[in-house]
Structure 1
Amino acid sequence: MYPEPMSKSLEGKLVVAISSRALFDFEEENKVFEDSDDRAYMDLQLSRLDVPAKPGVAYPLVKKLLAFNTETDNRVAVVILSRNDPVSGLRVFRSAQEANLQLERGVFTRGRNPYPYLTSLGANLFLSAKEEDVRAALNAGFAAARVYPDSAVAADRHPDEIRIAFDGDAVLFSDEAERIYAARGLEAFQAHEIERAAIPLPPGPFKPLLEALKPLQAQPAGAPMRVRTALVTARSAPAHERAIRTLMAWNIQVDEAMFLGGLEKADFLREFEPDFFFDDQTGYCDTAARVGPTGHVVSGVKNEVGGPRPSDR
C-alpha cells in the first residue's frame, strides 16, 4: 500500500490568487479569444508552449512577494486562478518556471468564473483582468482588483522593497463617507467626518489585506525584502483625522499618507513608485496606470451598476 500523503495547508501564509493574464502579458492571445473562440485561443497557446510569456502587470509584485520565501520558511503563496483551460495552463506554468517564479498551484476553469475557489484557498488578494470576476470576489468578501494590463511596468526599481499604495474610501475603508459626498456634496462630507473624527470608519475590502501584510512588514531591518505602504487619498484636512484614527484603532500602520484634496494622484505616485496601486475610481486608475501597475477596486457607491456616477473627488 502507498503511504497516506501529507496534508499541506496555506494557513498562516499571505495567499495571492492571480489570473494568468494579470501575471503574464497574454493580451495578443486574449484578442484572438475575443475575435474568435476558446478553441482558437487554446490552439495558439499550445503552439506557443515553448515560448515564455512576457511579464504582465502584476509580475513585479508577485516576484517580490515570492522573495519572502526561504528554504525553511514560506510566508507567501501565489496561486494561478484562471478562466484558462488546463491545456493553456501548461504555458502559464512553463513561463513561470522559465522566469524562476516558484508557483506550485493553479486552478483552471475554462471560461467559468473562478472566484468560488478563493474560499478554499483562503486568499488574501485576487487580481484579474476581468471585471465580472473581480466584482464577484469583492461581493464575496475578498480583496480584489481589476488590473490594467497596459499599465506602465518597471520591474527593476526598488529590488529590495515592495511598495503598495492604497486609496482610502471604498478601498481600505468602507464607502460610508463616500456615499455622503455623492449624495450631499463636499461640505456635508467634511461636516460628517469632523463630527465622527473619533469613530473608526467601517472596514473596506482591502483592510484584511493590510492585516495579512503585517507579518511581512515586521521583517527585521536587514531582511532581503521589505514592505512599504502608502495611503493616497483625495481626502484633505480636516477629514484626514478620521482616516488616521481609523488606522490607529485597527493597529495598522502605513509608512506614508498623502491627503491630496483632489490633486492628481498620479503625480504623487510617480514619486512613490509603487509596485501596485489600488483605487476605486476609474479616473484616478486611468492616470495612475501611466505611472505604474494599477488595479481598479470595483466596489463602493461609484461602482454600483446603474447607480450614481459622481465625478471623482
Structure 2
Amino acid sequence: MALSLVDKLVVAISSRALFDFEEENRVYEEGNLHAYEALQRDRLTVPAKPGVAFPLIRKLLALNAGDHRVEVVILSRSDPISGLRAFHSCREYGLTIERGVFTRGRAPFGYLKPLNASLFLSANQQDVRDALAAGFPAARVLPESAKMASTYPDEIRIAFDGDAVLFSDEAERVFQKDGLRAFVGHEIHNKDLPLADGPLKPLLEALHRLQKLADQAAPMHIRTALVTARSAPAHERAIRTLMAWNIEIDEAMFLGGLDKSAFLREFEPDFFFDDQIGHCESARVVTATGHVLSGIVNAS
C-alpha cells in the first residue's frame, strides 16, 4: 500500500526559506545559472546557515516525538545537485526531512497538490502568488527577518493577521473603498454572519487539530494568536467567525491601528503572517515574517 500524507500537517518549504542562501541567490539572480550551480557544488559539504523559517521548522518537527504528525518537504527552484547541499545541511542540524522536489528554475507550486500541502513558504513572490491562486496556504518569507532566540523552547508560537489571511478580504474591501466608518458599520450589521475562509484558514485548522491531539506530557505544544488592526465593535465578527469554525485561538489582540511589532515582541511568535507589506516590514524587525500576497491590497 502506498504511503500517504493525507493525515499529516505538510509544510512545503523552499531551500532559501529554510537556509540562508542569500549569497548564492544573488549569483542566481544575476542570470548566471551555471555560476550558481558551480558555487553550490563547491559548497556541497558546507552546511548552510539557518534561514528565516528554520526555527519554526525545527519546532514543528519536534511534534513527531510521538506519532508522525508533521511532514516537511523541500520544494525548490534549485537544481537537484544543489538539493544535495540542502539535505546535507538538514542532516548537520538534525532536521528529519526526507522528501524534496527540485525543479531547476521552473515554478514548483504544481507539486503542492500531490504533497497535500498545508503550507508553502518561499522567498519567491511569484511562486507564492501562484500557490495562493491555486488554493494553497502560502506566504513569502522575508529573508531579512529577525530570528529571535525564543524563550519558549517547548511551544510553537504562530501569530496571524485576520482579514485577507485567516478571513476573506470582504471587510477589507469595504474599508479600502469607503473608509473606516463604513467598515465598522458593515461589520456591526454582519456580526452574526461568519466571514468567508481566508487563505491561511486551512493552516489554522491543521494547527488546531494538532493542539487537540497533544497531551500534557508532549515535548512541544502549539500556541496561536490573532493580531489584527480591528477594534471594538468590529472585533465581534472576527470572534464569532472563529466560533462558527469551531476553532479556538489562545490570544487575540484587537489593536485598532496600533503598530503590531511591539505586541509581537511580547508574544514572541516563531512566525507571523500578514497580508500588508507595511505590517510585515515592521514585524520582520521583531520576528520571522511571511507576507501573504492575497486580497485587495495585493491585487497585481
TM-score (norm 1): 0.94
Partner of 2:187: 193
Contact 2:150 / 2:270 at 8 angstroms: preserved in 1?
A: no
Partner of 2:83: 89
Q: Distance in 2 between matches of 1:112 and 1:178?
A: 33
Q: What is the identity, as a one-letter code, of the residue corresponding to 2:195? A: L
Q: What is the identity, as a one-letter code, of the residue corresponding to 1:152? A: A
Pair 1:11 & 2:6 matched: yes
Partner of 1:308: none
Q: Distance in 1 between matches of 2:96 and 2:34?
A: 29
Determine which of 154, 162, 166 is the counterpart of 1:168.
162
Q: What is the identity, as a one-letter code, of the residue corresponding to 1:222? A: A
Structure 2 matches for 1:116-265, cutoff 5 A?
A: 116-218=110-212, 219-265=214-260
Partner of 1:108: 102
Q: What is the identity, as a one-letter code, of the residue corresponding to 1:153? A: K
Structure 2 matches for 1:274-293, cutoff 5 A?
A: 274-293=269-288
Aligned length: 299
Q: Distance in 1 between matches of 2:3 and 2:33?
A: 33
Partner of 2:67: 73
Q: Distance in 1 between matches of 2:273 and 2:282?
A: 12
1:172 is displaced (CA, Å) by: 0.2
Give unpaired runs (5+ residues) of structure 2.
none
Q: Distance in 2 between matches of 1:35 and 1:139?
A: 28
Q: What is the identity, as a one-letter code, of the residue corresponding to 1:39? A: H
Pair 1:272 & 2:267 matched: yes
Q: Distance in 1 between matches of 2:148 and 2:171?
A: 34
Q: Distance in 2 between matches of 1:242 and 1:116?
A: 35
Contact 2:11 / 2:71 at 8 angstroms: preserved in 1?
A: yes
**Secondary structure at the residue paired with 2:282?**
helix
Determine which of 55, 59, 72 is the counterpart of 2:54.
59
Q: Distance in 1 between matches of 2:194 and 2:44?
A: 51
Q: What are the Cα deviations for residues 77-121 of structure 1, in whole angstroms up to 9, with x where unaligned?
A: 000000000010000000001000000000000111100000000
Q: Distance in 2 between matches of 1:31 and 1:144?
A: 23
Aligned-pair identity (%) = 68
Q: Distance in 2 between matches of 1:19 and 1:36?
A: 19
Q: Distance in 1 between matches of 2:279 and 2:151?
A: 22
Q: What is the identity, as a one-letter code, of the residue corresponding to 2:251? A: E
1:27 is displaced (CA, Å) by: 0.3
Q: Distance in 2 between matches of 1:114 and 1:61?
A: 22
Q: Distance in 2 between matches of 1:286 and 1:298?
A: 14
Q: Distance in 2 between matches of 1:164 and 1:151?
A: 15
Q: Distance in 2 between matches of 1:75 and 1:236?
A: 36
Q: Distance in 2 between matches of 1:149 and 1:161?
A: 23
RMSD of the alignment, in Å? Answer: 0.9
**Secondary structure at the residue paired with 1:133?**
helix
TM-score (norm 2): 0.98
Structure 1 window deviating more from structure 2 (205-214 vs 215-224): it is 215-224
Structure 1 window deviating more from structure 2 (176-185 vs 212-221): it is 212-221
Contact 2:148 / 2:286 at 8 angstroms: preserved in 1?
A: no
1:222 is displaced (CA, Å) by: 2.3
Q: What is the identity, as a one-letter code, of the residue corresponding to 1:40? A: A
